[in-house]
Amino acid sequence: MKKRLLILVSGLLFTFGTIARADEGMWLLPLLKQLNIEVMQQKGFKLSAEDIYNVNNSSLKDAVIIFGRGCTGEIVSEKGLILTNHHCGYGAIQQHSTPEHDYLADGFWANTLQDEIPTPGLTATFLVRIEDVTSKVNEAVNNGMTEAERDKAIAEAGQKIAKEATDGTHYRGRVQSFFGGNQFFLLVYEEFTDVRMVGAPPSSIGKFGADTDNWMWPRHTGDFSVFRIYADKENKPAKYSTDNVPYKPKHSLPISLKGVKKGDFAMIMGYPGSTQRYMTSQEVDERMKISNANRIFVRGIRQEILLKDMRADKAINIKYASKYAGSSNYWKNSIGMNKALKRLKVYDYKKANEAEFTKWVNADPERVKKYGEALTLINQAVAERKDYLHSLQYISESLLSGTEIFQIAGAGEKLEEALAQNNKEEVAKIASTLKNRAPGFYKNYNAETDRKVAKAMFRIFAENVAQQYHPDIFTTIQTKYKNDFDKYVDEMYNKSIFVDSTKLFAFLSKPNLKALKKDPAYIAAKSIFAKMDVIRKNIEPMDDKLQKGQRLFIAGILEMNQGKAMYPDANFTMRLTYGEVKDYYPMDAVHYDHLTTLEGVMEKEDPDNWEFVVPQKLKELYQTKNYGRYAEDGKMPVAFISTNDITGGNSGSPVMNNNGELIGIAFDGNWEAMSGDIVFEKNMQRTISVDIRYVLFIIDKFAGATRLVDEMKIIQ
């Protein structure tokens, strides 16, 4: 865009002319002073915009991190101590667990700094600054470009801008698109790679309620874990070393024990992953009938198989715990989203908005010229790509994500090329890469479980995807095995070198082209990837059409709403949302309070159901009311809800009061508003957070890890 946007687009738009409510919106930090701070202060916020975001001085942003690759965390001590969700730390907890030391089941607490466990691959990333670079990026594009040409030009311009901004530093930069390619920001980050596990409650606390309570309120889950950042002696990022020392942050969050009351100001900063609040009615229909419906069906079948094996064998449970949790999370999300989209009549609501947009466009010939084709392009693309999208998702969900052996077998394609060319140097290089990758894969893999899954996945793929989209391996199954999927899968797992690390390493010690080309898992993987590439190529023109339509549609909404405080869709960049602690009425004659307590944990206890087992020590603390300074009116708070606008990626985000003090850790949304990624539901959308008092109670009284509490700045 030629002029710098001073407003950000509203994702919901109850009508396109409505200003976003104060508790709706994922706001960009540099624009808070222009757009939000007055409203925030009217709601009770006592700090300034500069206290939140400041490039040159310490501010709240310096205490908020990207935890790993998809969550948020916060710094809570002058020694780099991190709080995040238990489900965000779950992969690391699982990584360090064994049947002998099952930290998932039993929890883990480091007694000293020396006991904190290095966690290879885990990172903590700080935002250094954000800069609007729209005018620089737009210099590289013109209206005569195709979407592919435009994307390439934008990428090249973004890389150049990021390089110029970070040359000579240890920072990394990235230019990201906002508003569907209508605005661009440079984001500069500092990444730390020595992050160590400090503490985690047992899953009976950190995952209490598991799948049953996931996305539900009332909630009684102590969803938190503790890590620490280490740096070199200059306080700079460094690879793991015993010489590294705890990181000294620019800012750490003080912790309030004052508790939460209905109507209290609540603010969240974090990294919401993705929202799609500009979706048209046809895109909503596509999401419900294809993307969500397929995910619900395929994952439901796979998860049932996994869970049966996990519950029968402790070692398998450890291997698959993190994978199962990740799969189940968005499986249930899709179920809830479809229910909410139907109940709230979102399709009809979107149709009405599109009619209003069309009326506005048609009122001016110049607007017709600029935006007249936007909705037509979107609707055409959605209609044309229907079958391709369906088949691509089935390939992904059932054959690639669902059947794990293909994830490692597919890596053999480059090896085949090198062997065919007799390129010994390249063969050795690829074999070395596979050897390095293999231990991580097989550590969390059970071939017999995968075999059971594969039999189900091949069958449902054949039954639910048109034959023209089948990989060639299905022809082999039909002709050679008479569509006996069990027989085919058994033979593949019995004969493949990829079924376990011993066979694979024996092969890689002396790679052989003939053996690779005959391997049944490799043959299948190669066939699957080839068909996926063909489908992707066929869908590209439709995706380009969709992208152009979305860009024009959002640009039109920008112009239509000029002068109003608006925000862009989430894209895993730091955002701020503000609202209040508040109860709600999910249905007629039903009221949900804003706070839960330990009493509710005891009410839900079911020793015969793994999801609701309560640790004996927690029961003893409850019975003796040994809550220390963390209680309120003789009760132990567990979780609370607020009207903040968040989504996936915000998991682990700090919830702060009007003084910028930590009062909770966000970890979920509520079932009645699962359509929130597409539409903000003003009456019922709630953020579920674990109360910081429960976090400290578990650390201090349950775990006895008082040394960690002693590090923190506690506000009584």
Reply yes or no on whether 490 is catalytic: no
Those residues with Cβ within 8 angstroms of residue 350's Cβ, 6 or more apart along the chain or in another chain: 279, 280, 281, 284
Task: Say how far residue 247 (Cα) sits from the centre of its chain.
Answer: 26
What token pair was written down for 618? 């927690």
Reply yes or no on whether 223 is catalytic: yes
Q: How many CA atoms lie within 13 A of 470 on its CB side?
A: 18
What token pair was written down for 266? 């609540």
d(CA 420, CA 512): 10
The catalytically annotated residue of 225, 651, 675, 689 is 651
SS3 499: coil
d(CA 557, CA 562): 8
The catalytically annotated residue of 102, 194, 213, 223 is 223
Question: Which residue, 53, 1, 37, 377, is CA-closest to 178?
Answer: 1
Amino acid at 703: A
Those residues with Cβ within 8 angstroms of residue 703's Cβ, 6 or more apart along the chain or in another chain: 107, 109, 199, 201
218 cis-preceded (ω within 30 degrees of 0): yes
Contact present, 636 and 696 (Cβ < 8 Å)? no
Exposed / middle / buried, residue 646 (Cβ in 10 Å: 0-12, 13-18, 19+)? buried
Amino acid at 158: G
Query: How does DSSP classify residue 609?
Result: S
- The residue assigned the tokens 């006895």 is 704
Task: Using only the alpha carbons of the chain, give its radius of gyration.
Answer: 26
Amino acid at 176: Q
Furthest-apart CA atoms within the chain: distance in Å? 76
| Dihedral angle computed from the Cα positions of residues 612, 615, 621 and 622, in that order, rounded to the nearest 10 degrees | 20
- The residue assigned the tokens 């060319």 is 421
Query: How does DSSP classify residue 635?
Result: B
Question: Which residue, 118, 10, 1, 181, is CA-closest to 569?
Answer: 10
| Dihedral angle computed from the Cα positions of residues 402, 404, 406 and 411, in that order, rounded to the nearest 10 degrees | 130
Measured in degrees and rounded to the nearest 5, phi and psi for residue 109 equal: -140, 120
d(CA 570, CA 309): 37
d(CA 665, CA 197): 18
Amino acid at 50: E
Reply yes or no on whether 87 is catalytic: yes
Beta strand 584-587 pairing with 265-270: unpaired
d(CA 580, CA 48): 18
Exposed / middle / buried, residue 652 (Cβ in 10 Å: 0-12, 13-18, 19+)? buried
Catalytic residue positions, numbered = 87, 223, 651
